[in-house]
Amino acid sequence: MKFFIIIFAFIFSSNALADFAHINPSDKVDVIFIVDDSASMTPFQQKLSSNLDALLEDFRNSDAHFGILTTSATRGAFAFPYTPGVFLGTGTSGSFDQVVGALKKDILVGTDGNAEEKPFDVALMALSEPYISNENKGFLRPNIPLILVIITDEPDQSSVTAKQFADQLVVLKGDSSLSLYGYIPKDNTCGQNGPHTNIPEAAGYLGGKTYNLCDDDWSKNKIHFH
């Protein structure tokens, strides 16, 4: 099995594939995590990191690319260290356990990002020019399923609707082998601000599922691609 994390260092030169992690098996899949990096997200990032083994168990025997983005479409007010739309991390390849181990660290993206969470906009940026031919080159593979995983405690505040997002993704991908998973607040006890409808709506268009961000046990909230 072959895994690949979007990250920069271990196996790539500066002009090579951007930041990702890579696992090696028979079934192929590309996965993008879009993690909210606003000030309230520390406990949820930690929960995501500690549950990655369970969430990704379906990928153990797959040829998987994993990329990490934040929800910041522009730089935040603090020392925001990432370029919006460019995959981040350290870049590694290896076994499932090796790659998930690296992902657990790199998915802790911090909380100095923009207070306006725009996961739809950032995903479209990452898969569009100039990034898809430069910093993110090599991540998206033709005719391979693409899964987006959004982790946020706020509604999406992007410039596009859920329907526009889904339609544009299909165009950028070149086919409809897409799905979306959301780890989001399901009720007002989970710290959400306003109605949280656009991510579930996008998951409905693309296929996928949404889970409760505030669940105590994420072990059953798996990401599937078969």
Considering only residues 10 and 70, tell me which one the structure prediction assigns the higher pLDDT. Answer: 70
pLDDT 10s digits, 162-187: 999 999 999 999 988 999 999 999 87
Does the structure show a pLDDT above 70 at 78? Answer: no
pLDDT category of residue 1 using cuts at 50, 70 and 90? very low
Q: What is the pLDDT of residue 187?
A: 77
Per DSSP, the residues of the chain read: -EEEEE-SSSS--TTSS-SEEEE-SSEEEEEEEEE--STT-HHHHHHHHHHHHHHTGGGTTEEEEEEEEES-SS--SS---S-TTS--S--EE--HHHHHHHHHHHT---S-S-SS--HHHHHHHHTSTTGGGTTTTTSS-TTS-EEEEEE-SS----SS-HHHHHHHHHHHHSSS-EEEEEEE--SGGG---S---HHHHHHHHH-EEEEETT-S--TT------
Considering only residues 94 and 215, tell me which one the structure prediction assigns the higher pLDDT. Answer: 215
Mean per-residue pLDDT, 194-210: 90
Mean per-residue pLDDT, 222-226: 78
Mean per-residue pLDDT, 103-132: 94
- 3-state SS string over 106-149? HCCCCCCCCCCCCHHHHHHHHCCCCHHHCCCCCCCCCCCCEEEE
Average pLDDT, the chain: 84
Give me the residue spans of the domains in the chain.
2-212
What CATH superfamily classification does 2-212 receive?
Answer: von Willebrand factor, type A domain (3.40.50.410)
pLDDT 10s digits, 5-28: 443 322 222 223 344 444 444 589
Q: What is the pLDDT of residue 14?
A: 26
